[in-house]
Amino acid sequence: MPKDGYSGPLEKVNDHLWRIPKSYKPGMRVDGLIYASAALLELIKADQAPEQVANVAFLPGIQHASLAMPDIHWGYGFCIGGVCATDPAEGGVISPGGVGYDINCGVRLVRSNLMYQDVKPHLTTLVEELFRQVPTGVGRGGRYRFEPKELRRLMADGPRRLIDRELAVPSDIDHTEARGRLDGAEPERVSERALERGKDQCGTLGSGNHFMEVQVVDAVFDEGAARTMGLEKDQVCVMIHSGSRGLGYQVCDDSLRMLRGVPEKYGIDLPDRQLACAPVESPEGEHYLGAMRAAANYAWCNRQLLMWQARESFATVFGRPWEELQMSLVYDVAHNIAKFEEHTVGGRLRRLWVHRKGATRAFPPDHEEVPSVYRRIGQPVIIPGDMGRASWLLVGQDGSMEQTFGTACHGAGRVMSRSAAIKHAQGRRIDQELARDGIIARARSWKGLAEEQPAAYKDVSLVVDVVHRAGLAKKVARMRPIGVIKG
């Protein structure tokens, strides 16, 4: 991560929006726009993420602006928290840096009919059972293995393929973004190396900021929307954060190798080679999109199997089937993905490729892609925080379509690199510190908890306040963690 902070222009538009004018750098096609409060802006300027916002504005076919959410921080090519929409009719490009290495990293929220008082006496037992049953850690495989032929079917069809194996039910599919399947996936474009990495990692948590948390709804801000989603104060939920594991990483790595020299081939001048891209309507662009969609479908299968293991663990500890515990999926959202969507730009409806890297789709009420049960309130927007504070549930608002191509933030956003967080944790027991706050945490290593300590992240409530006040998404409920498992 770069050590030097950003020193370029940032013009205040209003209390939650700042502009990098396209005059900042010759070659910028649009302005950069960063959603942030004044307090968050000081943290955002600490690294080169705003510079990356300006760099993304060079991409051919970019529409409206290069956007960044309030959880912005430095990433590969695009900042994490970056949003960019390109129009293929205007030579628009697709860029792996705008999706990230962990293709379709995302989060799902599962409710239950258990209340905090029901779970509190069994919390340690529950967390230990989850840690036993759910594989965590770098490169760790799990109990589900898929040979190449079946793995390709998973990548083509997404979690609906798991219904036949009795590892999913139809309502799980109905409450997943895009119903857990991007059309146009081409598993044959996924390399043998990626298939090898993915054969036993579907249903595993991984490491880094991925987690499974037992949470309690500790505040409700919109009782009507919460009721629609089956939530109330003091109710116990499970939040799952993971992605496409080694398979997705390999797809991204393979694609970046393939794209070396491609921008020059098409006469595309870029300020950063990490923005490697190809016209959407080119052989290279189509190759990446086919493989990326396949990896995204795999990620939805991964979170489905993680949820299934959580259901089984709850059933074991509480002695009742998960159906009796009413462990239903509230929703699953992707936050590292590129999708072909309809948006209005300049008064005209266009089909655009929307890159969301560390950003969450936030479609408003009455949008046809919102599940019918939520259409009156808007799409659920799930925002995980750090393991010591809180996570949030919001719903998309009309302002997201007007301002950000239907997008909101995706989390708290780092303020410390992983190496800095480890240094900050020297001589401390993060698990014991969390335990003093009533949070039982289990991880494969001391390093896993040190890297993800609460101090490594912005306060998620400040991030959520910005998207709420900007009219991108509306607060519904806050959930505090009581049990955490990590790699």
Q: At what angle do helices 148-157 and 283-318 cross, to 10 degrees?
A: 100
**DSSP for residue 26:** T
* Alpha helix positions (H), 57-174: 116-119, 123-133, 148-157, 170-174
> 34 pairs with which residues across the strands?
18, 68
Please check whether residue 111 is in contact with residue 237, taking contact to mean a CB–CB distance below 8 angstroms. yes
The residue written with tokens 């939520």 in the block is 374
Separation CA 21–CA 65 (nearest Å): 10
**Among 361, 359, 469, 372, CA closest to 406:** 361
460: Cα within 13 Å, side-chain hemisphere: 22
Q: At what angle do helices 123-133 and 283-318 cross, to 10 degrees?
A: 140
SS (H, E, C) 310-326: HHHHHHHHHCCCCCCCC
Please check whether residue 393 is in contact with residue 107, taking contact to mean a CB–CB distance below 8 angstroms. no
**DSSP for residue 459:** -
**CB atoms closer than 10 angstroms to residue 90:** 13
Please check whether residue 380 is in contact with residue 374, taking contact to mean a CB–CB distance below 8 angstroms. yes
What is the chain's alpha carbon radius of gyration, rounded to the nearest angstrom?
Answer: 21
Residues 6+ apart with CB under 8 A from 249: 101, 102, 197
Point out the catalytic residue in the list 175, 343, 410, 468: 410
- Tell me, yes or no, if 367 is annotated catalytic: no
Please check whether residue 397 is in contact with residue 473, taking contact to mean a CB–CB distance below 8 angstroms. yes
The residue written with tokens 């505090």 in the block is 480
Active site residues: 410
